[in-house]
Amino acid sequence: MIIRYISLLIEHGTIPEEERTRFHINVNFTINYLSRAIRRKRIATDNSYNFIGVRLCREKKADKASNLFKSIIVYEQLTDADWNDYLHSKSVEQRTEFILKWLETGYYRAAQIKSIPVDTLLSVHEEFRKNDYRNEWLFKKKTIIEFGISVYLKCYLTFFDFRLELEAINKQSGTLVCKGTLFQSPPLEEWYNHLLHEIRITESILEILDSSGFANITVDISRLASGEFNYQYHDNERYKGEVWNKGWKKEIIENQRMIDKMTW
């Protein structure tokens, strides 16, 4: 068993609920990066846990390990002064450091319960810092020989949003043909994971498939190769009634409103 998940949450009643919700949305881009990076390191455990969670609360609680849930949960006391420092931070970097430092404190507490390679976990934090707190990855790359281009679909997860961006590169010269944002959502996996599963080329159309195999975003490759960034959204009836199936145009507008509420 390896460590797979890192978590930082603020307990109910510790701060105003609206601020707590916003924090949990904002913190996700850091937690996502750390969890994915730690999984790549394949840090072995004693088979009793694969999850380390840090909980911030008003009153100190007893730390606990659960063999049933394969988790270690530690509690740290969050004061008004601590929270005011966070709210008055003037940059994403300062707020990210708030997150990292509470996690680091939690790792040392967790190491009093179980054997945990704290130094290895801290090295992941340092990698994140040296990378300027960026959480970016390549979703798919496809070379389309007939049109002489390579298409890169890149994911960007930030404090405030998730973006799927497309870049078309001339295969022969290596120059940029065009680029643009295909999709933007709040920075929570449940808003975008189900939409980004695979890609497929059908005649001169690039299709981005969701987890059911439905082409929810399509791009005209011939227009793309000529330098015209383009895309089209398609609604999937399979998700009728679900939170994300509001119609793409309506969803994009609502996404932006939510993103705006998370900024400061």
- The boundaries of the domain holding residue 234 are 135-262
Residue 58: CB atoms within 10 A of its CB come to 14
pTM: 0.85
Asked if 37 and 98 sit in the same domain, the reply is yes
Question: What is the rounded distance in angstroms from the CA atom of residue 263 to the CA atom of residue 161?
Answer: 10
Question: What is the rounded distance in angstroms from the CA atom of residue 23 to the CA atom of residue 257?
Answer: 17
Asked if 65 and 115 sit in the same domain, the reply is yes
Among 114, 130, 146, the domain-final residue is 130
Among 61, 96, 130, the domain-final residue is 130
The tens-digit pLDDT sequence of the chain (264 residues) is: 999 999 999 999 999 998 998 899 889 999 999 999 999 999 999 998 999 999 999 998 898 888 878 999 999 999 999 999 999 988 889 999 999 999 999 999 999 999 999 999 999 999 999 999 999 999 999 999 999 999 999 999 998 889 999 999 999 999 999 999 998 888 888 878 888 999 999 989 999 998 889 998 999 999 999 999 999 988 766 554 444 444 444 454 455 555 555 554
Asked if 91 and 155 sit in the same domain, the reply is no
How deeply is 242 buried, as exposed, middle or buried, from its count of CB atoms within 10 A (0-12, 13-18, 19+)?
exposed
CA angle at 5 for the pair 81 and 97, rounded to the nearest 5°: 30
Asked if 122 and 155 sit in the same domain, the reply is no
Number of domains in the chain: 2
